[in-house]
Amino acid sequence: MLSVKQEKNKKSVSPKKKSAETKKSGKTSDYSAIKGRKYLTLSPKNHDFKPKWYSIDAKGKCVGRLASQIVGLLSGKKNTPFYAPHLVCGHRVVVLNADQVVFTGKKEKNKQYMWYTGYPGGQRTRSVAEERAKHPTRILERSVLRMLPKNKLRKLLFKNLYLCKGTEHGRKEKLEPLTSLF
């Protein structure tokens, strides 16, 4: 006659025997059978990606449409084989003639840039014409910055954007002109 402890030990099966039994029956209760699968979801790493340098001529281009295309290149959603939201896997973009972008409709006359200084009565506004006279590339810079995701990678993505007033960019790297996206 077996004691109560011996009966419990007799009914329980060791983990090694359990996994062997599940392989025979075809049921997978643990993760040991999944390890040998053929298709894995690959997560890209920083060393897997080499960024390209692209140049875009912004002369006569619409601000919002141009900014959305630039954000796609900076974040890695366009012209890349993969996208990882937790990595900087985008390209570097040099925008030539960034001061010659245009607005559609009546935005050139009616649009106001507004900000607050942090002091009482410190709300400031500036029209598009005043902004062009003071900081010509800041119009495109603001629109791209505000389209980027609001997280810790925002500053790192924005560092890959280079805005130039004219056609001279002063970069040593070979730039690929981008005309097919627009």
Q: Does the residue 12 lie in any domain?
A: no
Q: What is the CATH number of the domain that holds 57?
A: 3.90.1180.10
> Tens digit of pLDDT for each residue in 29-80?
444 555 566 667 777 888 888 889 999 999 999 999 999 999 999 999 988 8
Q: Which domain holds residue 75?
A: 53-107+134-177
Q: Does the residue 164 lie in any domain?
A: yes
Instruction: Identify the CA nearest to 18 among candidates 30, 7, 8.
Output: 30
- 178 — pLDDT class (breaks 50, 70, 90): confident
Q: Does the residue 30 lie in any domain?
A: no
Q: Based on the structure, what is the number of domains in the chain? A: 1
Q: Does the residue 59 lie in any domain?
A: yes
Q: Does the residue 82 lie in any domain?
A: yes
pTM for this prediction: 0.74
Instruction: Identify the CA nearest to 127 among candidates 106, 151, 152, 146.
Output: 106
Q: Does the residue 155 lie in any domain?
A: yes
